[in-house]
Amino acid sequence: MVLPVTVAFWKPALALIRPLSQKLSWSRSPQTRICASTDSIHGMKASYDALCDKLRTVSYLEGIMGLLGWDEQVMMSPGSEFARGKQKAALAKTIHETKTDEEIGRLIREIESSGEPMDEVMKANLREAKLRFERNRRMPSSLASRAAELETTAYGIWVKAREQDDFKMFAPILNETIELRKEICRITKPDMPLYDAAIDSFDPRMSADRLADIFAAVKADLTPLIRRIADRVAQDPSLQDIHPALRGGPEWDPAKQAAMCREIADALGFDPARGRMDVSVHPFTGGSHPSDVRITTRYSADNWLEGLAGTVHECGHAMYEQGRPDAPGLADLP
């Protein structure tokens, strides 16, 4: 019975004594205080650097996934679809497991508990790393694998359905894809409306309400403009005729269009030394890094504006990506 009484007395007594002894210790030794503070800063910096290494590894793996997706839509033969789906599923599992490694959570907690000052970049990286870690931890890796494989299957069916102008062929896999995305949104972002969660995946912190406000502002000016154009066409139907310069012909063969589009892309500011331009079923921007940004377009012998419009549009995305910081250590962080 003596030991519990002794412990019951000394534990609160020690709690009262410790702050005083620590204060006296700091008073006696300013140098000790400086060393302890320096050690704390160094410890936080070491944890932050270790966290950044983890985040970069995730980015490197996601870059590989990006290249698999680009190859799938630009270079890959249709017969390779099954294998590519399995490859992407396996890689998605590895990426998810890397994203949700408990070591990331431990490092985040260490940095937060240090109380040491951080610059704005460090704060932003920590904030985004914590948000993504917490969301990803809610989802099983099997779901990430399923989504990656389904993406490849759906793309192959979409290409065939497009060729045959048969939406019914594509509808079932489209519905499956939508339901899977809804499931992921429910799991990873349970506190958000489904559509807001889906938007946030592509445009962080955007919401349906904010988009509605933006669209309303655009509509206010766009609707009268469309009405004026319609009135002009009603007065002069010939305005709907295709201008001779836009009509197809041998002078607009795909090779010549490609040369023109590359020249225009360069003039707009696309850097071909840090990217490339190819042809795909539907234009898109992909790649793996700000130093490897890949755009595509498509050409029509009947309307050269299609290839040009696709090029200009994708150049906008590409120049944004190429404009991101690509200094060592920065490009692969949140």
Same domain for 193 and 101?
yes
Let me know if residue 9 belongs to a domain.
no
Does residue 236 sit in the same domain as residue 280?
no
pLDDT of residue 288: 94
Domain match, 292 and 234 both: no
Q: Do 171 and 265 belong together in one domain?
A: no
* Residue 125: inside a domain: yes
Same domain, 285 and 295: yes
Residues 78 and 176 in one domain: yes
DSSP 168-227: HHHHHHHHHHHHHHHHHHHHH-TTS-HHHHHHHHHSTT--HHHHHHHHHHHHHHHHHHHH
Judgement on whether residues 289 and 147 belong to the same structural domain of the protein: no
Q: Is the Cβ–Cβ distance between 270 and 315 less than 8 Å?
A: yes
Convert the pLDDT of each residue in 111-156 to its tens digit: 999 999 999 999 999 999 999 999 999 999 999 999 999 999 999 9
Task: Say whether both 306 and 328 belong to one domain.
Answer: yes
CA distance 66 to 279: 17
Beta bridge partner(s), residue 296: 278
Distance from C-alpha of 133 to C-alpha of 17, rounded to nearest angstrom: 40
Q: Give the pLDDT confidence score for residue 192 in this predicted structure.
A: 97
| pLDDT tens digits along 204-226 | 999 999 999 999 999 999 999 99
The answer to whether residues 121 and 325 touch, using CB atoms and an 8 Å cutoff, is no
Q: Are residues 56 and 187 in the same domain?
A: yes
CB 321 within 8 A of CB 285: yes
SS (HEC) of 26-77? HHHCHHHHHHHHHHHHHHHHHHHHHHHHHHHHHHHHHHHHHHHHHHHHHCCC
Residue with tokens 């993406």: 151
- Which residues sit opposite 285 in a β-bridge? 295
Residue 173: what pLDDT? 98
pLDDT of residue 317: 98
Is residue 11, in this structure, part of any structural domain at all?
A: no
Low-confidence spans in the chain with pLDDT less than 50: 1-30, 32-36
The answer to whether position 315 is within a domain reads yes
With respect to residue 4, please indicate whether it lies within any of the assigned structural domains: no
For residue 296, give the DSSP letter.
E
Of the residues 179, 206, 233, the one at which a domain ends: 206
Token pair for 236: 């002069």
Does 25 reside within a domain?
Answer: no
Are 323 and 229 part of one and the same domain?
no
Token pair in block for residue 72: 């799938």
61 φ, ψ to 5°?
A: -65, -40
Taking alpha carbons only, the member of 272, 271, 264 closest to residue 304 is 264
Q: Are residues 196 and 102 in the same domain?
A: yes
**28 is a domain residue:** no
- If one counts the domains in the chain, the total is 3
Residue 296 phi, psi (nearest 5): -135, 160
Residue 112 lies inside a defined structural domain of this protein: yes
Q: Burial-class residue 277 by CB neighbours within 10 Å (0-12, 13-18, 19+).
A: buried
Q: What is the DSSP string of 224-291?
A: HHHHHHHHHHHH-GGGGSPPGGGS--GGG-HHHHHHHHHHHHHHHT--GGGEEEEE-SS--EEEEETT
pTM of this prediction? 0.83
Of 222, 241, 260, the last residue of a domain is 241
Closest by Cα among 95, 201, 78 to 148? 95
Task: Give me the domain span that covers residue 236.
Answer: 208-241
299 shares its domain with 192: no
What pLDDT does 41 receive? 64
